Amino acid sequence: MPLSRRKFIIRGLLAFPIVNSVLGITQVFAKTGAKQEIILGGGQYIDPKTHKIQHVFSVYNLTNNEKSIINMDFLPHGICLQPNNPLIISIFEKKGPHACEFDLGTLSVSRVIKTDPNRHFYGHGTYSKDGKLLYCTETYLDTRDGIIAVRDAQTLKYLAEFPTYGKEPHECLLTDKGKTLIITNGGGDLEGLAPSITYVDIKTARLIEQVTLTNARINTGHLALGQNNNLIVVSAPRAGLEASDLGGVSIRNKTKTLLDSINKPSAIASRMKGEALSVVVYEPTQIAAVTHPSGNMVTFWSLNDHKLLKSMDLQSPRGVTLTTEKNAFVISYSKNAKMLEVDVNTLQIIDGSQRNTTYITGSHLYNWSAEVKKLHV
C-alpha cells in the first residue's frame, strides 16, 4: 500500500503545508501516552496536480499542535488498538474492500487486511480483550447479510465468521468483560429488514438480544455505552430515503426493551437532517455528545433522563471524543479541519482550545492516549 507525505488541499478549499510531518514519533509514543494527547483520524483532499481525491491518515498531537499526515489508499473510518502492542492499530474502510494494520512507531502500514471478494468491510472492528483475535464487521454484497469475521491478531489468518443477525452491520463494541459483542445493523430499506442492535455471545455466536428503534425511518449507525449498560445510538435516514431526510438519536436504559428515538424538542429534532454522526459518553454524569454535520450543530443528552441538555451551533461538526483526563469533549469541525474542546461540566467551549488545520475531516476522532491509559489502569 503506497504511502507518501505532501502539501495538500483539505476538501479542495485551502492549501496548507505540512509542518513537522515526522514527530520523532517513537519518542512521542511513550508506553502510557499520558504526557501527550494523541488524536487519530482520517481525512481527504483534492490533489492539486491530479485533481483527484486523496485519502490521508492523521496523527495529531493535541498537546503541542504537531501532526503527521500519511497518504492512504482509502478513507480511514474506524480504528481499534491492539491491546498487546499499543503501537499497532487496525484501520477500516466504510463500505469497501480496504482495511489494514498500521504501525504508529514507523507511521506506515504494516500489513493489509484482506476480505473475501464477495464481501466488503463495513467500517469498524475490535480486538478481543486478550488481544489474540480481531473481529471485523463485514457484509456479503449479494444478500447484504452481516457477519463478524474473526481473524488471528498475530497472523491475520481468517479463522471463522458468525452472523450479526441483521443486514449491513457497522459498529461493534465489546461489553460484559469482553464476552458480548454489541453490533449496529443498518438494515435494508423501509420495506426490508429493520435496523437493530444485536447482542451476541462471542464464544457461542448465540444471539442474546435484539433491540429495534422506535423510529422506523432511521438506521443504526454508531453507538456508545454509559453506566449500567445505558446505550445511545446515532442514525442516518434509512436506505432508500433522501440523504437530506432526518437522522436521529435514540437512547435506551437497560430496563427498557426498545431504543427511544428522540423527537423533542421539535426545533432541534427538525435540524437533524442527514446523519447524526459521532457520539461519546462522559460516564460520571451520563452525558452524551453527538455531532450533526448537516445540521451544523452538536447536541448534548442525558442518558438517565432521555432529554436534551443543550445544543451548540458549530459548522460541520464530525468526530467527537474525550480528553485523556476526561475533562473535555474534543470535537472536529468545519471543512477546514478545525478542532476545539468543550468542558464536560459546563458544556461551554473552553477559551483558547480552538485549533486549526488538524487534517482530520473524517467521521471519527480516536484518542490513542486515552485508550493506552486504559490498558494500564
| pLDDT tens digits for range 183-236 | 999 998 888 899 999 999 999 999 999 999 999 999 999 999 998 878 999 999
Instruction: Judge whether 320 and 279 are in contact, CB under 8 Å.
Output: yes
In this prediction, residue 27 carries a pLDDT of 47
**Pairing mode of beta strands 66-72, 88-92:** unpaired
Instruction: Judge whether 68 and 59 are in contact, CB under 8 Å.
Output: yes
pLDDT at 89 over 70: yes
Which H or E run includes 372?
A: helix 368-375
Instruction: Judge whether 227 and 286 are in contact, CB under 8 Å.
Output: yes
Q: CA-to-CA distance for 377 and 358, rounded, in angstroms?
A: 29
pLDDT at 33 over 60: no
pLDDT band at 258 (very low <50, low <70, confident <90, very high): confident
In this prediction, residue 19 carries a pLDDT of 33
- What grid cell was written down for 242? 433522501
Percent of the chain whose predicted confidence (pLDDT) is above 70: 89
Which H or E run includes 26?
A: helix 25-28
pLDDT tens track for 291-316: 999 999 999 999 999 999 999 999 99
Q: Which residues pair with 125 in a beta bridge?
A: 136
Least Cα distance to 18 among 74, 83, 69 occurs for 69
pLDDT at 34 over 50: no
In the numeric block, the cell 447524526 is attached to 276
Q: Can you say how many angstroms the Cα of residue 211 is from the centroid of all Cα atoms in its chain?
A: 21
pLDDT at 28 over 70: no
What pTM was estimated for this model as a whole? 0.91
The whole-number average pLDDT for the span 145-165 is 98
Instruction: Judge whether 40 and 79 are in contact, CB under 8 Å.
Output: yes
Query: Helix, strand, or coil here: 292?
Result: strand
pLDDT band at 254 (very low <50, low <70, confident <90, very high): low
**Pairing mode of beta strands 14-16, 297-302:** unpaired
What is the end-to-end Cα distance of the chain in Å, rounded?
35
Query: Helix, strand, or coil here: 299?
Result: strand
- What grid cell was written down for 178? 469482553
Q: CA-to-CA distance for 189 and 176, rounded, in angstroms?
A: 32
Average pLDDT, the chain: 90
Per-state percent for the chain, helix, strand, coil, to nearest 5: 5, 45, 50
The whole-number average pLDDT for the span 48-56 is 89
pLDDT at 12 over 90: no
pLDDT band at 256 (very low <50, low <70, confident <90, very high): low
Higher-confidence position of 64 and 235: 235
Q: CA-to-CA distance for 147 and 200, rounded, in angstroms?
A: 11
Q: CA-to-CA distance for 88 and 156, rounded, in angstroms?
A: 13
pLDDT at 118 over 70: yes
- What grid cell was written down for 97? 474492500
Q: CA-to-CA distance for 165 and 182, rounded, in angstroms?
A: 11
In this prediction, residue 46 carries a pLDDT of 83
